[in-house]
Structure 1
Amino acid sequence: MSAETGLVVREMRPDELLFVETIHATAFDGIDEAQLTKAVIESGHETISVVAAHDGFLVGHALFSALDGPERGLALGPVAVAPDRQGAGVGARLINFGLELARERGWRSVFVLGDPHYYGRFGFRPDLARGADVSWAGPAFQALELVPGALQGWQGPLVYPEPFAALPE
């Protein structure tokens, strides 16, 4: 599929949470990611929450949430795109927009657990995440420095917002 035309990517409004939950539930064929997204946003945890809309209908969402660990670090995820819009570049537009907002707001790094080939396109690298003490460490756990050298020499526990602990392993 070609890149989406007529797609608007912007920050989520509070009254759109139910629509965002629906996108996550249908994209992941279950409710775990939908419940996680809702719990993180409603917990008041510092986040960047972005949506993609086409013809006024939400078709994608990406969540970036503050981490305890390296200075000004974020977690990326979950990212969801409505099944009928997948493969059209919506996810990439969401991630790029969220990363741009993060840079503008002074965030220094972003961590993600996902396909290294996909996330590598945005500059995420497994070697940058090696200093993080997490149970899911491995080649799919990656980081991106929004500020060059932000993770240089850093190592220690990386603590995600509490709602992430409720996810099944």
Structure 2
Amino acid sequence: MHAAPILIRPELPSDVASIRRVNELAFGRAMEADMVDAVRHHGGVTLSLVAVLDGNVVGHILFSPVAVDREDGARDMGVGLAPMAVHPDFQKHGVGSELVRDGLERLRGLGHGVVIVVGHPEYYPRFGFERGSRFGLRWELACPDAAFMALALREGALDGRPGVVRYRPEFGSP
């Protein structure tokens, strides 16, 4: 993969500019970087990790709270994975996979039960994500069924609790 090992660690204040740059380069636009900055500014970060190689940030993953409004009127909380970005020079080398695996383990250790992602249906199932519709979940915005996925970090966390998932307003949710 790489001569030096990739270090995955929580973001530091000194990483903010590098995180922004990685998101801009990975997505080819500023929208995702703007969302990360806005979530951070409004105190909405559950977990933010960076991948560091030779002292440089080459990847980033953000987890923030999502609400699950249940059909019975209850509201549960989960965690949304978005965005995940890897510098183009380091894509397809396992950096993103390391970020996702490390992030999910940290969230599990912190006691979180559910993670939601809207992403590539060929990519996220390798980490255990399944279509949200399998659990009676749907995203508040229109989205292909295969792209909206959920993962239970603890057994039973998604059982019998259908509802609508709502991301933070910084993600452009209604």
Report the Cα distance in structure 2 between the residues aligned to 1:166 and 1:8, rounded to whole angstroms.
33
- Written as runs of structure 1 = structure 2, the 5 A alignment for 1:125-164 is 125-126=130-131, 127-128=133-134, 130-137=136-143, 138-164=145-171
Give deviations 1:3-62, integer Å, cap 9, x for gaps. Answer: 674110011112211110110000100000010111111110142000000010000000
Q: Are 1:12 and 1:51, in contact at CA under 8 Å, matched by a contact in 2? A: yes
1:20 aligns with 2:19: yes
Q: 1:115: how far off?
A: 1.3
Amino acid at match of 2:168: P
Q: Are 1:48 and 1:65, in contact at CA under 8 Å, matched by a contact in 2? A: yes
Q: Are 2:65 and 2:79, in contact at CA under 8 Å, matched by a contact in 1? A: yes
- Written as runs of structure 1 = structure 2, the 5 A alignment for 1:3-152 is 5-69=4-68, 71-126=76-131, 127-128=133-134, 130-137=136-143, 138-152=145-159
Report the Cα distance in structure 2 between the residues aligned to 1:77 and 1:129, rounded to whole angstroms.
20
Q: 1:133: how far off?
A: 4.6
Report the Cα distance in structure 1 between the residues aligned to 2:40 and 2:114, rounded to whole angstroms.
20
Instruction: Go from structure 1 to structure 2 and tell me whether the alpha carbon gap of 1:34 and 1:166 turns closer, same or farther (over 3 Å shift).
Output: farther
Structure 2 unaligned segments of length 5 or more: list them: 69-74
Report the Cα distance in structure 2 between the residues aligned to 1:88 and 1:52, rounded to whole angstroms.
12
Q: 1:160: how far off?
A: 0.8
Q: Are 2:44 and 2:65, in contact at CA under 8 Å, matched by a contact in 1? A: yes
Structure 2 residue matching 1:139: 3-state secondary structure: helix
TM-score with structure 1 setting the length: 0.91
Instruction: Go from structure 1 to structure 2 and tell me whether the alpha carbon gap of 1:153 and 1:4 turns closer, same or farther (over 3 Å shift).
Output: farther
Bigger shift: residues 117-126 or 151-160: 151-160
- Kindly report the root-mean-square deviation, in angstroms, between the aligned alpha carbons of the 2 structures: 1.9
Q: Are 1:47 and 1:66, in contact at CA under 8 Å, matched by a contact in 2? A: yes
Report the Cα distance in structure 2 between the residues aligned to 1:161 and 1:149, rounded to whole angstroms.
25
TM-score with structure 2 setting the length: 0.88
Structure 1 unaligned segments of length 5 or more: list them: none
Give deviations 1:123-154, integer Å, cap 9, x for gaps. Answer: 00004453235223411100000011101111
Instruction: Go from structure 1 to structure 2 and tell me whether the alpha carbon gap of 1:40 and 1:4 turns closer, same or farther (over 3 Å shift).
Output: farther
Structure 1 residue matching 2:172: 3-state secondary structure: helix
Number of aligned residues: 166
